[in-house]
C-alpha cells in the first residue's frame, strides 16, 4: 500500500476576517464553474455558521466548507486542480467532528448526485427522493453521530480500563473569537439543565443569536467575554464538556461543567489552569464568585471567603455548577504563589539525599520514595530511562534543549513508543525552547512523535515562561527528575514524590496551554 502525504493545511475560519477568501472560493467553484446564480449561492446564513479554509503548502486557498447550526454541512468547494488530493474528505471529516463536539445527534447535506459515492464512503446515507437545487440534481444524505456514551462503550470493549486517577478529558486555552459559539452553547446547556430562568433585563433574549430557547431567556454571555482568557475541557472524542474564564486582572467566573461529567475533576482542573496562568501574569491574587455551598470545593485551591462581600444575585452572575435556580454568590480570594528564581536556587542548594545507585534493582515508580542525588551525565541518562520505562499513564518533559546525550537513544525511543501505543489515554508531552536543533539532527524522540502524533506532542515554551533554565521530567503522578540548570549535570530524582510532582505539573500545565506549535515539528519526510 502506498503512502500519500497530505499536501495541504486545514483550519477553522473566522467569517469576519476570512469571508472574502471563502466567498471567492465558492464563487470560482459554484458560480463560475457550475453556473449557479450568485443569488442562490450567497445566502444570509454564513455569519452564524462554522467555516473551514484549506491552504496548499504555498499558502494559497484551495478549499472550503461550512456547518450550519441546524446540522447541515454544505458549501463544500475545492478548486478543480486540487481535486482528488483528499481536500474535500478532510473538510467533511472536520465538519462532522465539529458537529459531534457541538452535541449534534446527526448531520445532513444535499449532495450533488455525481458525488453520492464520495459521501457514502464517509458514512452518509441517502434519504428521500432526488431534487433540483440551483439547476443541479441533488440528494439529501444523513449521517447519524454516535452518542458520546455509546462511543465510549465501544472503545471500552477494546481498551483495558485504567486506574481511576486518569482524567477522561483534555483541556486547552481558547480565544472567545475562535470558540465563543461552543462555550456559549455549553453555558446554555448547563443553565437549562439546572432549571435556571435568569433574564438579562437589558436584553430580553437568549445570547444564542438573539433567539429564545423554549421561551426562556438566559444570560450566558456579556461584554467581558472578548477581553477575558478562556479555557475549555473536552472529552476524548472532542466534545466540549466545561469551560471557565478569567479577566486580565484575575477575576475568575463562568465556571460550568456538563452534568454528565461532574465529579470527575473537570471543574478542579479548569480552576487550576486559571491559577497557573495567574502566576505567569504576576498577579498578586485572584478572585472567584461562587455559591457559599461550594466553599469546600474552592478551598481545595486555597480560596478563602472574603468577609462582608456577599456578591450579586446569581441572576446577574454565572450559570455555575449548582443546581438550585436561585442562590447568592460569595466572593472568594486566592493569594498567588509567585515563582521566585532566587528562592528556587536557594532551595535547590540545600537539598540532601542519597547518591543514585544504578545497580540497585529496581527503584519502583510510585513506591520507592528515596531522594536521589544526580551528579553525572550517565546517572541522568540511566534514571530517565529507568523511570520512563515504568510509566503507565503519562510522561511530561520540560527541557530547553532536549539534550541528545540524554534523550537521543534507541532504548528510550522504544520505551516512549511502547507507552504511546498502550491505549488512547496514555500521553507524552514535551516542552522545549527551540526546535531547530532537534529537527536538524533528526532527534530520536522527534522521529517517534511524528509517527505517533496523537500520543506524543512537542510544543515550544512561550517566552513568558522561559525565566528559568530548569529541566524536569514528571512521570505518571509520582516520579520526578529535576535539573536546576539544563546545561549542568546536577539534580535529583525521586520515584515517589507526589508533592513535588504536583508542583512541577502546575508549572508544566501553565506553559503547555500557552505553548507554541511549530509546523516543522510535525512535518514527516519519507
Tell me, what's the pLDDT at 76? 92
Specify the pLDDT at position 79.
Answer: 93
**Residue whose C-alpha is closest to residue 314's, from 304, 323, 302:** 323
- Measure the CA–CA gap between 464 and 511, rounded to whole angstroms: 9
Taking CA atoms, 277 is separated from 367, 410, 465, in Å, by: 32, 36, 10
> Which pLDDT value is given to residue 86?
87
What would the pLDDT profile of 80-119 be if each residue is shown by its tens digit? Answer: 998 888 898 889 988 988 888 777 788 999 998 888 888 8
Q: Render pLDDT for 433-486 as a digit per residue (tens, 0 to 9).
A: 888 778 877 788 988 888 888 889 999 887 767 766 789 999 998 999 999 888
Please, where in the chain does CATH 3.40.630.30 lie? Answer: 8-145, 169-335
Superfamily of structural domain 8-145 = Gcn5-related N-acetyltransferase (GNAT) (3.40.630.30)
353-522 has CATH 1.10.760.10 classification: no
Taking CA 107 as the corner, what is the angle to CA 104 and CA 113, rounded to the nearest 5 degrees?
A: 175
The continuous run of DSSP H or E covering 19 comes out as helix 15-26
Q: Which stretches in the chain have pLDDT values below 70?
A: 1-6, 146-168, 194-220, 308-328, 337-353, 358-361, 464, 467-468, 522-526
Q: What CATH code would you report for 169-335?
A: 3.40.630.30
61 phi, psi to nearest 5 deg = -70, 130
pLDDT score at 308? 63
Residue pair 374/383 in contact (Cβ under 8 Å)? The answer is yes
Can you give the pLDDT at residue 219? 59
SS3 516: strand
Distance CA 30, CA 348 (A): 66
517: which DSSP letter? Answer: P
What pLDDT was estimated at residue 337?
63
Whether 134 and 36 have beta carbons less than 8 Å apart is answered as yes
All CATH 3.30.870.10 domain ranges in the chain, comma separated = 353-522
- CA distance linking residue 466 with residue 473, whole number of Å: 16
- How many other CB atoms sit within 10 Å of the CB of residue 524? 12
Amino acid at each position: 500500500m502506498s503512502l500519500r502525504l497530505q499536501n495541504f493545511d486545514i483550519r477553522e475560519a473566522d467569517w469576519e476576517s476570512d469571508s472574502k477568501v471563502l466567498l471567492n472560493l465558492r464563487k470560482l467553484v459554484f458560480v463560475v464553474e457550475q453556473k449557479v446564480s450568485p443569488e442562490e449561492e450567497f445566502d444570509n446564513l454564513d455569519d452564524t455558521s462554522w467555516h473551514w479554509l484549506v491552504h496548499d503548502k504555498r499558502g494559497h486557498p484551495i478549499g472550503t466548507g461550512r456547518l450550519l447550526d441546524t446540522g447541515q454541512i454544505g458549501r463544500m468547494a475545492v478548486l478543480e486542480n486540487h481535486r482528488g488530493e483528499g481536500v474535500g474528505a478532510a473538510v467533511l471529516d472536520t465538519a462532522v467532528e465539529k458537529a459531534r463536539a457541538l452535541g449534534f445527534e446527526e448531520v445532513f447535506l444535499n449532495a450533488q448526485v455525481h458525488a453520492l459515492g464520495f459521501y457514502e464512503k464517509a458514512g452518509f446515507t441517502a434519504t428521500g427522493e432526488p431534487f433540483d437545487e440551483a439547476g443541479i440534481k441533488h440528494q439529501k444524505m444523513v449521517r447519524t453521530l454516535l452518542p458520546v456514551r455509546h462511543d465510549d462503550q465501544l472503545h471500552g470493549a477494546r481498551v483495558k480500563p485504567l486506574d481511576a486517577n486518569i482524567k477522561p478529558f483534555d483541556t486547552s486555552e481558547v480565544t472567545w473569537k475562535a470558540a465563543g459559539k461552543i462555550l456559549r452553547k455549553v453555558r446554555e446547556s448547563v443553565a437549562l439543565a439546572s432549571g435556571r430562568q435568569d433574564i438579562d433585563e437589558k436584553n430580553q433574549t437568549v445570547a444564542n443569536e438573539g433567539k429564545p430557547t423554549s421561551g426562556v431567556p438566559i444570560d450566558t454571555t456579556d461584554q467581558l467575554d472578548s477581553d477575558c482568557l478562556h479555557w475549555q475541557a473536552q472529552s476524548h472524542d472532542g466534545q466540549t464538556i466545561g469551560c471557565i474564564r478569567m479577566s486580565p486582572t484575575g477575576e475568575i467566573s463562568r465556571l460550568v461543567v456538563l452534568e454528565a461529567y461532574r465529579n470527575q475533576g473537570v471543574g478542579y482542573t479548569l480552576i487550576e489552569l486559571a491559577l497557573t496562568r495567574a502566576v505567569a501574569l504576576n498577579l498578586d491574587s485572584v478572585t472567584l464568585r461562587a455559591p457559599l455551598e461550594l466553599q469546600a470545593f474552592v478551598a481545595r485551591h486555597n480560596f478563602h471567603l472574603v468577609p462582608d462581600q456577599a456578591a450579586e444575585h446569581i441572576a446577574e452572575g454565572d450559570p455555575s455548577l449548582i443546581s438550585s435556580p436561585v442562590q447568592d454568590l460569595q466572593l472568594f480570594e486566592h493569594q498567588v504563589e509567585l515563582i521566585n528564581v532566587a528562592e528556587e536556587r536557594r532551595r535547590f542548594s540545600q537539598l540532601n539525599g542519597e547518591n543514585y545507585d544504578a545497580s540497585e534493582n529496581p527503584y519502583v515508580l510510585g513506591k520507592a520514595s528515596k531522594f536521589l542525588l544526580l551528579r553525572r551525565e550517565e546517572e541522568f541518562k540511566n534514571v530517565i530511562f529507568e523511570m520512563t520505562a515504568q510509566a503507565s499513564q503519562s510522561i511530561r518533559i520540560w527541557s530547553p534543549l532536549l539534550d541528545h546525550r540524554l534523550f537521543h537513544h534507541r532504548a528510550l525511543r522504544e520505551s516512549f513508543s511502547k507507552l504511546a501505543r498502550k491505549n488512547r489515554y496514555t500521553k507524552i508531552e514535551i516542552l522545549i525552547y527551540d526546535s531547530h536543533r532537534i529537527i536538524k539532527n533528526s532527534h530520536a524522540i522527534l522521529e517517534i512523535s511524528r509517527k505517533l502524533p496523537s500520543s506524543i506532542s512537542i510544543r515550544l515554551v512561550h517566552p513568558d515562561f522561559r525565566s528559568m533554565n530548569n529541566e524536569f521530567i514528571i512521570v505518571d503522578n509520582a516520579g520526578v527528575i529535576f535539573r536546576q540548570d539544563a546545561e549542568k549535570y546536577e539534580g535529583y530524582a525521586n520515584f515517589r514524590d507526589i508533592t513535588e510532582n504536583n508542583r512541577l505539573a502546575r508549572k508544566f500545565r501553565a506553559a503547555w496551554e500557552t505553548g507554541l506549535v511549530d509546523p516543522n515539528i510535525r512535518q514527516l519526510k519519507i
